[in-house]
Structure 1
């Protein structure tokens, strides 16, 4: 190749590189100008996280999930849905509107949007955890209510049996009491033999496969039993209602096991609970931005 042609091509290449660099610089300038608005929206998200005291989840998670924490979890859930997630949606929409024409700036935007998606995933994980806590509080309340209802109906049953005996229905009343004692013995035998408090999953299997079918059969037997005496019939109905409350208790207990298992999968030290935590997701973007600025200068 002739020397003059080589020199000409070299000059063209230099001009091309300069022009490309200028386009990238101009594109980056526009990108950063738009980013200032995105940063404001992200700052609002971070402030909202701190304002609703999301970091209190750490403290609350160490306490029993009872009605004492009910208001805290309910308020936090409302704040997540009505304040934090709408603020994040606005921030995400602004991020997706960031301009990028050159390859380098497009790559930078892609990195930023990837990190925004990671932030959203983290906040949704927080929201899911709070919802599980609310469900846990609710099912624990239900467990307590069904226990109280069982005791109430058992007391009613005793009164109805006494009424039946006062009415001279000793034979039918004694037969009913005998059946109930036999039912109770069978339930106790199953619980003693199979229930393992140290293994919640096994407990759930036993409830589903052994205890619930047994209670259902006992309810069915009571419904099908022939009782003609008036007061004993009332006592039998009280017994059936007592068993239904016991059935509801065990159904809810299975739910508590499911919820507890899901809650145990969360590592509180890894949840994103503060505005500072949220900022940590943009480390790679900040490094990429710094490198690009060095390249175009």
Structure 2
């Protein structure tokens, strides 16, 4: 009976020693793994510091409130930093992580958490940069549309003043010829632009601008240039009217761009992008915890 107990004890001791040896070997391989990751850790720490400093709540609140100060100053600075510093770091991190080879299965499972975190960090930076750039483009395009509308009203007032102050019958005759052509052009343009206020798809509206409205405006410009004029006032009416047509061309081109920006923004939820910040932070916490467990041989 004593012999049997001794054998059992010896087997248990051997098993414990084997476990201890395996644990020590895993801890040693973990240390080697960390040394191999040193350069990657350096890039990751710099990238993470940049990303952690992004105030997601502030972005959400400013964009929701349409804060113009944020749009013109902080927004531009943030986009520049994302594109110039953060995204290159995220790309570099993912490239180096992909090149890293891990042979130990236990460490590889742990390493995959780091790989996932690196990808989420890139996605966060890339998607946020794209969203903010699109938002900025949309705001700036809307501002240009307002400026074009104001310019159109200013030109219209100037033209009306010239027409009202026509000084002789020849000028009045030539101006009336211009007005007839302008009215005809206006009716044609109004009819062709109705689709833009309807329920048609954005693609249909953009096609209408490209295929119908812009060529039509080019024809309207030609129609005014083909009229023979001799009086200074009539020529000035035509000149101002041409400025208005060129403004229309810019307006519809900008309108088309605005449609694309707004559609893109509507198809993406900003909150989903901002939530990626919490996702990579949670993965980083898991990675650190798992690393400590591996180093302790658990």
Normalised TM-score (structure 1): 0.75
Q: Does 1:81 align with 2:75?
A: no
Which structure carries more relative contact order (alpha carbon 8 Å, separation 6+)?
2
Deviating more after overlay: 15-24 vs 101-110: 15-24
The Cα shift of 1:258 comes to 0.4
CA distance in 1, matches of 2:70, 2:173: 49
Partner of 2:65, secondary structure, is coil
Partner of 1:169, secondary structure, is helix
Q: Does 1:148 align with 2:175?
A: no
CA distance in 2, matches of 1:219, 1:64: 38
Q: Does 1:173 align with 2:164?
A: no
Cα deviation per residue 1:161-190 (whole Å; 9 max; x = unaligned)? 345444742211111112112222222233
CA distance in 2, matches of 1:180, 1:199: 28
The Cα shift of 1:103 comes to 5.1
Partner in structure 2 of residue 8 of structure 1 = none
- The answer for unaligned runs of 5 or more in structure 2 is 1-14
Cα deviation per residue 1:198-224 (whole Å; 9 max; x = unaligned)? 556143333333322322221121122
Deviating more after overlay: 110-119 vs 93-102: 93-102
Q: 1:144 to 1:80 in 2, by over 3 A?
A: same
Partner in structure 1 of residue 197 of structure 2 = 196
The Cα shift of 1:107 comes to 5.6
Q: 8 Å contact 1:150–1:245 — kept in the other structure?
A: yes
Q: 1:51 to 1:20 in 2, by over 3 A?
A: closer
Q: 8 Å contact 1:66–1:140 — kept in the other structure?
A: no
Matches within 5 A, 1:99-138: 100-102=102-104, 104-106=106-108, 108-110=110-112, 112-138=114-140
Partner in structure 2 of residue 69 of structure 1 = 71
Matches within 5 A, 1:135-284: 135-162=137-164, 164-166=166-168, 168-192=170-194, 194-199=195-200, 201=202, 202-272=204-274, 276-282=278-284
Q: 8 Å contact 1:77–1:131 — kept in the other structure?
A: yes
Q: 8 Å contact 1:119–1:281 — kept in the other structure?
A: no
Q: 1:199 to 1:71 in 2, by over 3 A?
A: farther
Partner of 1:69, secondary structure, is helix
CA distance in 2, matches of 1:87, 1:164: 66
CA distance in 1, matches of 2:31, 2:155: 75
Partner of 2:229, secondary structure, is coil
Deviating more after overlay: 209-218 vs 44-53: 44-53
CA distance in 2, matches of 1:195, 1:146: 18
CA distance in 1, matches of 2:183, 2:69: 35
Partner in structure 1 of residue 31 of structure 2 = 29
Normalised TM-score (structure 2): 0.75
